[in-house]
Amino acid sequence: MPVNRDAIGAHGEAIVTVELLRRHGRNEPFFRPQFLGEKYPAIDFFVELVGVDGDLTPFFLAQVKTTSTGYTRGGRLNARATPPMMASLVRYPAPTYLIGVDEDAGRAFIVPTITGGPTQYRSLPTDLPLSKRVTLQTLYDEVRAFWIAHGVTFHRSAFE
């Protein structure tokens, strides 16, 4: 029986949603993820930070790569990110991340996609699991710091 890639992908997206909504002892989750659907080829999730004081609502964008084939001998996730995919993520003027999901184990790992960073992955690193509070806190702090430093708001409009 052939592998149902759509079902594997949907399961991976659900795993990412669950991981991003974990509260880890807080009153509220760190993030409010919104799955964008198949109409966006480069981005799967628009993710807002929860509980941020100030004038901005920081957010990040994420692409999810799900696999049911496990790990390499070196412990990396058997999921690929092609040069065109990585280039499309880096083009967004916002924090962007690649999230690899081990569908069978229900585990997710995050990797930043930054200018000057890797241009492709033949397999994904697994040193930043989304299941850990420290990973979510670091992600939250990184995205918040980006928007504090680079915050852009819409000040004028031709429709005023």
pLDDT digits (tens, 9 = 90+) for 45-78: 999 999 988 878 999 999 999 999 999 999 999 9
Q: What is the pLDDT of residue 1?
A: 57
pLDDT more than 70, % of the chain: 98
Q: Where are the beta strands (DSSP E) in the chain?
A: 31-35, 45-49, 59-67, 96-102, 107-112
Please choose, from the candidates 118, 113, 41, 125, the residue with its C-alpha nearest in 3D space to the C-alpha of residue 78: 125
CA 134 to chain centre: 16
Pair 60, 20: CB distance under 8 Å = no
Structural domains of the chain, ranges and CATH numbers in brackets:
5-150 (3.40.1350)
The per-residue pLDDT for range 32-48, each reduced to its tens digit, is 999 998 778 899 999 99
Burial class of 54 by CB neighbour count within 10 A (0 to 12, 13 to 18, 19+): exposed
